[in-house]
Amino acid sequence: MIKVWTDAAEAGRLDRHGERGSTFAYQPGAPPARAVSVTMPVRLESWSAPFGLLPIFEMNLPEGVLRERLRLAFAKATGTFDEFDLLSIVGRSQVGRIRYTGDKEQLHEDVPFQSVDEILERRRGGDLFRYLLEKFASFSGISGVQPKILVRDDKAFAEMEHTKHRLSQSYKGATHIVKLWEPNEYPQLAANEYFCLGVARKCGLDVPPHRLAEDGMAMVIDRFDLRMEGTYRGFEDFCVLNGRRTDQKYRGSYETSVMKRFGQFANSTHVNEDMEKLFTLIALNCALRNGDAHLKNFGIVYDDVQGEARLAPVYDLVTTSVYLPKDSMALTLNGTTKWASAKELQRLGETRLGASPARVREVLERIDAGIATTTTELRAYLKEHAEFEEIGNRMLHEWEQGSRFR
Ligand SMILES: Nc1ncnc2c1ncn2[C@@H]1O[C@H](COP(=O)(O)OP(=O)(O)OP(=O)(O)O)[C@@H](O)[C@H]1O
Ligand SMILES: [Mg+2]
């Protein structure tokens, strides 16, 4: 049995159910604001899934490398290790406002301190990657295939004293995400993402502060769900909003599963502004040739589960076609995953956004301009980093292909 907490208060209990399923019941008397998801209001009847976990509980389970590492470290003598076991391990430290503990336990987030500067400057030497994964894997309730961890920067509190915002000293949770990569699989992935996020920022999208390690081996990004008082905002990805399991993240269309769905859950006075950002992001994914813009790479954030939901800041932007030359879009647009043309994006903007043709054109031109400026920065970085030459040049080629919107 697992105890589920929202906003540091008990919400209910989660248990295995039947052969392979699970069931969740809210605590009697739980107020509506304690709902675990915008898709799961507080009610007397329990919520069940015939297989595995309900999407909101599955949302932050590590995939890929991190999952395999945890499986190896924690699989019982019998060799069994399911999602329930994984959630029990990483449940105390998660992206968003939900936490999980044992049935009789209290909350105990306490992520160890780790200097982010040490990671960026590689002061620890060659084995940093393995050290970080070993130490922080069980505090890393974060999804995704690429190796990554959640850390608590030992300078996060002091640094912010210089600004008006000061992170509460009672803060025990993770402050940053460290994204690493395996050299043999996706070389220079951190630099790739770093420059792609740079383009997004230039297009006027919200991008959390992010830094690239001096040797390009890691990218560190601030958590966008962190509040100054030491609590976290709600976050839900579009797998949850669509009621899908993680293994269905490549199913759906940008029109319905992303844009229309966002409109249904936004519940915000900023919906038009956010919808334009969402459209910009979809178009940007095409321009950057990111074939991994699936349902888990879009999300909403909120302070109150019953209140306004905003589009989450941008994350996970990568020119994937430098690794997979035949790559295409992760979801369909107009019934196909072929990279959308300027004309198709123009139509998407006019119909789903309801914007004037001139306004949509302006968005597409902003993307072109963002790519042009970042191209200059990328070229400068290339000059200093020979190891980035091959991937960097391929990125420039892909961006050129993708950004011919005019
Ligand atoms: N800055 C951030 N603040 C809070 N949560 C974040 C942030 N960036 C990413 N996340 C969360 O972490 C998850 C994993 O991050 P990300 O998508 O960057 O990893 P990935 O391994 O590249 O993913 P994929 O499997 O799609 O390739 C995201 O789906 C999102 O839920
Ligand atoms: Mg992702």
At 199-236, the pLDDT tens digits run: 999 999 999 999 999 999 999 999 999 988 888 999 99
Mean pLDDT of 149-169: 72
Please give the backbone phi and psi of residue 166, each rounded to the nearest 5 degrees, phi first: -130, 125
Work out the number of other CB atoms within 10 angstroms of the CB of residue 331.
23
In this prediction, residue 122 carries a pLDDT of 75
Tell me the ligand closest to 315's alpha carbon.
1
For residue 282, the surrounding DSSP H or E stretch is: helix 271-287
Distance of CA 244 to the CA centre of its chain: 16
Is residue 221 helix, strand or coil? Answer: strand
The mean of the pLDDT values for the chain is 93
Tell me the chain's radius of gyration from C-alpha atoms.
Answer: 21
In this prediction, residue 125 carries a pLDDT of 61
**Which atom of ligand 1 is nearest the CA belonging to 292?**
26
Angle between helices 389-402 and 189-202 (to 10 degrees): 40
Query: What is the C-alpha separation between 224 and 315, in angstroms, rounded?
Result: 10
Query: What is the C-alpha separation between 396 and 366, in angstroms, rounded?
Result: 18
Q: How many CA atoms lie within 13 A of 325 on its CB side?
A: 3
pTM for the predicted model, two decimal places: 0.96
- The answer to whether 178 touches 218, Cβ cutoff 8 Å, is yes
Q: How do residues 384-396 score in pLDDT, each as one tens digit?
A: 999 999 999 999 9
Mean pLDDT of 185-195: 96
- Residue 290 CB less than 6 A away from ligand 1: no
CA of 291 to the centre of ligand 2 (A): 11
Alpha helices in 288-356 (DSSP H): 342-348
Say yes or no to pLDDT of 165 above 80. Answer: no
Work out the number of other CB atoms within 10 angstroms of the CB of residue 228.
12
- Residue 208 CB less than 6 A away from ligand 1: yes
Q: How confident is the model at residue 100 (pLDDT cuts 50, 70, 90)?
A: very high
**Which atom of ligand 1 is nearest the CA belonging to 249?**
26
Two tokens, residue 106: 């209290």
Alpha helices in 203-270 (DSSP H): 238-241, 261-266
Is residue 2 helix, strand or coil? Answer: strand
In this prediction, residue 406 carries a pLDDT of 45
- Residue 320 CB less than 6 A away from ligand 1: no
Sheet holding 309-311, edge to edge: 234-237, 299-302, 309-311
- Residue 234 CB less than 6 A away from ligand 1: no
- Residue 223 CB less than 6 A away from ligand 1: yes
Say yes or no to pLDDT of 45 above 90. Answer: yes
* Residue type, position 23, single letter: T
Q: How do residues 269-293 score in pLDDT, each as one tens digit?
A: 999 999 999 999 999 999 999 999 9
